[in-house]
Amino acid sequence: MRILYTFLFFPILFFGQVCDSLQMQSLINIGPLQISEINESMGLRNGTDYNGATIYYPINQNNLSSIVLVPGFMNTELTIQNWGPFFASHGIITMTIGTNSLTDTHVQRRDALFDAIISLKQENQRIASPLFGKLDTSSIAVGGFSKGGGGAQLLAKFDPSLKAVVALYPWLENVTASDLEHTVPLIIISGQLDAIAPPFLHADIQYNLTPMTTKKLKYEVAFASHDAISGPYAGNGEVGARVLSWLNTFLVTDSCYCPLLLEQPITSSSYTTNIVCSNLFTNIYESNKSYSKEIIEIRDLYGRKVKFSNSRILIYIYNDGSYEKKITL
């Protein structure tokens, strides 16, 4: 999206800190850091609520933030492992886990994530671990694919100390507003052509039921299906770049990445968020103030102001600072 052009190509002063020039393209590929990995054969705890784990980490780095990922229904740990080297090479420790059963429910996957966090934190205290003393144990996120993405959202209410949630093509059946009543920043990735977890039955509902006071973003990938294997490289790499920017913003608390989240992915069929970069780490809405969301501007894919028209992809800009790219047929 062109209206954020100056944010992306020039050094800026943002929230009192100087941000180096950031380009979305630099976040699409494997990062610059060397990485390694450990598993149970090297002393990593194997918890009772999950089955097997791998931790990917950048070497020669300290005070590291982390994310734990769980796979979806009938999926093994292997299906989410491509996120490990991707995140770790950009400086975020990534723990991928398997489930006790391929048919575990979203609640069991929630519990698996919680148990895995215990194992992760223990590595910070295990003297023989290459991660000894290198973790920021107060800076942990969770995520998952399909039912794993549903379980990750449930854990946000159970453990409000989490710093971010990544829900990848999430499945969460019979969900209620109470289930998703949490304040943990949430990013949802969905597929426009997902026949297993159709966005209108899952991702869209989950986004809408998550409180308006919770920072959230929903990125529907155009023509995408229920795709675990592509991982961060889905949407020509824009999925990984957006998720990484989300984690850098809310997990690592680097506000320089926030403007990148407002850039509309070319590969999105729908894109909406309620984050306001100037109000990043406070409540978006005052609890005692009524709020009405209104369209204040419409732009085309070249960033030009236009009027509404059918059968055309347009970018809608709202008065709360959120953006959405959609087509009306």
CA 234 to chain centre: 14
CA 219 to chain centre: 10
Q: Are 293 and 305 in contact (CB under 8 A)?
A: no
**Helices 106-123 + 147-158 axis angle, to 10:** 70
| CA diameter of the chain | 62
Q: Are 63 and 16 in contact (CB under 8 A)?
A: no
For the beta carbon of residue 211, count every other beta carbon within 10 angstroms. Answer: 17
Rounded to 5, what percent of the chain is helix, strand, coil?
30, 25, 45
**One-letter amino acid of 72:** G
User: Annotated active-site positions, please?
Assistant: 146, 194, 226
Closest C-alpha among 156, 155, 216, 163 to residue 187: 216
**One-letter amino acid of 27:** L
Closest C-alpha among 67, 53, 46 to residue 143: 67
The two structure tokens encoding residue 91: 């400086």
